[in-house]
């Protein structure tokens, strides 16, 4: 198949090639109706200008960015990030767009990074690790940088958003544990200022009612081990622990076994994000596959459209699947793996 060209876009929109160029560059006055027709045609044909043409006509960088204010250790050990980036790259390669990944230590450095992006380094950004009342959302809006929010951001925003349901899998796991006879069920969350950690913790609290044992972790193995030790030292220890990621869950499982507990007979354990090792542990770990690659693809597609001038929109990615494995089986009745798609 031949590569889509500006002539194809012009033919689809019913305008001249010059009009397509002017509509995208903004260097000549073009009616909103005509510009909308050009953008719709470009999106339909999955077309953006070549890198050289874009640089000349629109002064774009042909790059998008992800800025992460996280401990590099967490990034290195969290299975979400490489899969998400792979999904993003699978879309960006279609238009030879580069991905800039920058890790920063604090807010001041993060602000500098975003300001630098607006000076020709990138055409847009993907915003991860969303927080309640996230300062970055109005900040990026003021900078005028096209941005896609990855997460269930609840505040008003002019940006496109990729959303998933982080609450339903937690409710499903707790229901499964209760059906197996567990009443003392604890939850080790991620940082509660993250919207996805809060959504999981809120689902746990709402499902458990007054019988809650919530501990806030930071997604590291160290916090998973330390909080498991704290919970197991309680006079009435939990008989099940639901962790907010697999790294903490695996560390907790290892510590529990070092104390002589049998999983799941003495303690049931579940994780989140379904690390590639989780199904191969002994016992295999119940977890939630969240398909970060699918979220990455959706975010990159939305950002590409936004850079071309499309109206912001929200896309819901139905990707969370609970994989029930031996680590949450009823005592002495470990069933084979069952996968269920959350409603």
* Helix ranges restricted to H, 154-291: 167-179, 195-208, 221-232, 246-258
List strand residue ranges (DSSP E) for 238-300, in order: 240-243, 268-270, 287-289
3-state class (DSSP) for residue 17:
helix
Do the Cβ atoms of 152 and 199 come closer than 8 Å?
A: yes
Closest CA to 269 of 231, 242, 230: 242
**Burial of 265 by CB count in 10 Å (0-12 exposed, 13-18 middle, 19+ buried)?**
middle
Q: Name the DSSP letter for residue 321.
A: E
DSSP 326: G
Dist CA 96 CA 186 (whole Å): 46
Q: How far apart are CA 242 and CA 259, in angstroms?
A: 19
Compute CA 70 distance to the chain's CA centroid, rounded to the nearest angstrom. 14
Written as tens digits, the pLDDT of the chain (343 aa) is 457 788 888 899 999 888 887 776 655 667 878 888 888 888 888 776 654 444 444 466 789 999 998 777 777 777 788 899 999 999 998 888 899 999 999 999 999 999 999 988 899 999 999 998 899 999 999 999 999 999 888 888 889 999 999 999 999 999 999 999 999 999 999 999 999 999 999 999 999 988 899 999 999 999 999 999 999 999 999 999 999 999 999 999 999 999 999 999 999 999 999 988 899 999 999 999 989 999 999 999 999 999 988 888 999 998 899 999 999 987 654 444 444 444 4
Residue 163 has a pLDDT of: 92
Distance of CA 159 to the CA centre of its chain: 16
Query: Which tokens sit at 289?
Result: 């596959």
Residue 334: predicted pLDDT: 41
pLDDT for 248: 95
Per residue, what are the HEC states of 113-176?
HHHHHHHHHCCEEEECCCECCCCHHHHHHHHCCCEEEECCCCCCCCCEEEECCCHHHHHHHHHH
Q: What per-residue confidence (pLDDT) applies to 2?
A: 56
How high is the pLDDT of residue 333? 43
Which three-class secondary structure state does DSSP give residue 278?
helix
Residue 121: burial class (beta carbons within 10 Å; 0-12, 13-18, 19+): middle
Place of tokens 């139905």: 318
Q: How far apart are CA 318 and CA 188, in angstroms?
A: 24
Q: Copy the structure tokens of residue 209.
A: 């009612």
C-alpha separations of 190 from 200, 220, 247 in Å: 9, 9, 11
How are beta strands 240-243 and 268-270 bridged, if at all?
Answer: parallel
pLDDT at 338: 42
Which pair of tokens denotes residue 329? 């089986």
Distance CA 300, CA 89 (A): 8
The pLDDT value recorded for residue 342 is: 47
Distance of alpha carbon 80 from alpha carbon 232, whole angstroms: 28
Distance between terminal CA atoms of the chain?
39
Task: Read off the pTM.
Answer: 0.75
């Amino acid at each position: 198949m031949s590569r889509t060209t500006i002539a194809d876009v012009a033919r689809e929109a019913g305008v001249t090639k010059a009009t397509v160029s002017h509509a995208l560059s903004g260097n000549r006055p073009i009616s909103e109706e005509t510009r909308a027709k050009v953008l719709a045609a470009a999106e339909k044909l999955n077309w953006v200008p070549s890198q050289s043409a874009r640089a000349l006509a629109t002064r774009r960088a042909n790059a998008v960015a992800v800025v992460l204010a996280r401990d590099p250790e967490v990034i290195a050990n969290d299975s979400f990030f490489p899969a998400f980036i792979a999904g993003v790259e699978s879309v960006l390669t279609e238009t030879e767009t580069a991905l800039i990944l920058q890790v920063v230590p604090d807010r001041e450095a993060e602000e500098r990074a975003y300001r630098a992006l607006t000076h020709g380094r990138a055409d847009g950004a993907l915003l991860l690790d969303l927080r309640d009342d996230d300062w970055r959302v109005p900040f990026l809006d003021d900078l005028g940088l096209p941005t896609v929010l990855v997460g269930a951001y609840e505040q008003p925003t002019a940006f496109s958003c990729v959303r998933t349901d982080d609450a339903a899998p937690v409710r499903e796991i707790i229901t499964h544990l209760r059906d197996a006879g567990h009443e003392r069920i604890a939850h080790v969350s991620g940082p509660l200022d993250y919207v996805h950690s809060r959504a999981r913790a809120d689902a746990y609290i709402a499902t458990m009612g007054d019988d809650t044992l919530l501990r806030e972790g930071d997604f590291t193995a160290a916090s998973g081990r330390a909080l498991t030790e704290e919970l197991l030292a309680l006079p009435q220890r939990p008989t099940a622990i639901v962790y907010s990621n697999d790294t903490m869950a695996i560390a907790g499982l290892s510590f529990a076994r070092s104390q002589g507990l049998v999983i799941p007979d003495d303690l049931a354990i579940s994780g989140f994000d379904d690390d590639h090792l989780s199904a191969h542990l002994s016992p295999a770990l119940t977890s939630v596959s969240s398909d970060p690659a699918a979220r990455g693809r959706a975010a990159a597609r939305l950002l590409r459209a936004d850079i071309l001038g499309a109206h912001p929109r929200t896309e819901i990615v139905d990707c969370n699947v609970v994989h029930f494995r031996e680590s949450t089986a009823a005592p002495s009745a470990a069933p084979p793996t069952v996968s269920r798609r959350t409603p």
